[in-house]
Amino acid sequence: MADSVAGSGVEPTVIADRLDIIYKVIAGQGGKGTAATALRRIVNRQDRPTIREVHAVRNVSFTAYKGDAIGVIGRNGSGKSTMLRAIAGLLPPVSGAVYTGGRPSLLGVNAAMMNDLTGERNVVLGCLAMGMSPAETQRRYAEIVDFSGIGDFIDLPMSTYSTGMQARLKFAIASAKTHDILLVDEALATGDAEFRVRSERKIKDLRDQAGTVFLVSHSLDVVQETCNRALWLDAGVLKLDGPVDEVIAAYIRSTRAG
Ligand SMILES: Nc1ncnc2c1ncn2[C@@H]1O[C@H](COP(=O)(O)OP(=O)(O)OP(=O)(O)O)[C@@H](O)[C@H]1O
């Protein structure tokens, strides 16, 4: 399959080597304890609250190459977002490592935007934050707003936008730049059907521009349309890594079986 996992001779962009991520959570005390009381207990060195560990990503290894668009699929809580955050360098692994050739940009539903500012100001700030010059920002502005399909709302504060509109604007800003490694977390799922088609095309462009794209999504259609390869996570374990068709077929079989 010519369009499957990028092969030999291609430059690796992300290498995950036996990656383990564990969250440490302060467990409630018989339902009465809050985070604040637990903190007070720690500070006062009183009986320590129970720390519960959530082993979210377990011994995950893979290599991504330039030109790969990788869908990350799996059930709720299987560790997809956690893995993306680890690739972005936002979560330290408890063991193992992630090596990246290039700067990863994480585009999530929670990507930082200023809610009190207008869409317009957010576009400008977002472009500058991504390293564009003021002149380039000005040049790209109309294209970004057009792509987002926000229309007249662009003059209103982001706080007046629906979740889908916010996600569209974030995606439009982030995808205006070529990223070495673009990490997209469910941003497309909140857009409407028409926007989804446009953003799928955009992801293909980004991939053609020789970046690497990771896309976390519950929409298998979107993953199938957009990606050449998929990683299937199950309870933090990498269950399958391969061409998108094969991984999705195996995942569907397992959900039918169980
Ligand atoms: N900040 C956190 N603190 C503690 N545990 C967390 C935190 N974030 C996620 N977890 C836990 O880590 C595990 C993996 O969560 P993660 O959000 O990575 O899964 P996911 O596959 O992206 O899920 P979904 O499809 O529901 O978005 C889950 O058990 C979750 O409860």
How far is the C-alpha of 94 from the C-alpha of 111, rounded, in Å?
Answer: 24
CA of 146 to the centre of ligand 1 (A): 34
Residue 232 host element (H or E): strand 229-234
Q: Whose CA is nearest to atom 31 of ligand 1?
A: 77
Under 8 Å between Cβ of 87 and 56: no
To test the pocket of ligand 1, the residue of 21, 57, 78, 190 to mutate (highest count of ligand atoms within 8 Å of its CB) is 78
- Residue 183 Cα to ligand 1 midpoint, Å, equals 17
| Averaged pLDDT, 30-45 | 70
Q: Which residue lies with its CA nearest to atom 30 of ligand 1?
A: 77
Domain ranges across the chain = 12-19+58-257
- Residues with CB under 6 Å of ligand 1 are 23, 25, 54, 56, 74, 76-82
Nearest CA to ligand 1 atom 24: 76
| pLDDT per residue as tens digits for the range 167-180 | 889 888 888 888 88
Which of 22, 73, 81 for mutating ligand 1's site (highest number of atoms within 8 Å of CB)?
81
Rounded Cα distance between 31 and 153, Å, is: 44
Kindly report, residue by residue over 199-241, the tens digit of the pLDDT: 888 888 877 776 899 999 888 988 998 899 999 999 999 999 9
Q: What is the pLDDT of residues 79-131, one digit of tens each?
A: 999 999 999 999 999 999 999 998 888 875 555 678 899 999 999 998 888 88
pTM of the predicted model as reported, rounded to 2 decimal places: 0.81
Q: Where does the pLDDT of residue 256 fall: very low under 50, low under 70, confident under 90, or very high at 90 and above?
A: confident
More reliable by pLDDT, 14 or 166: 14
- Give 12-19+58-257's CATH code, choosing from 3.40.50.620, 3.30.1540.20, 3.40.50.300, 3.65.10.10: 3.40.50.300
CA distance 79 to 74: 8
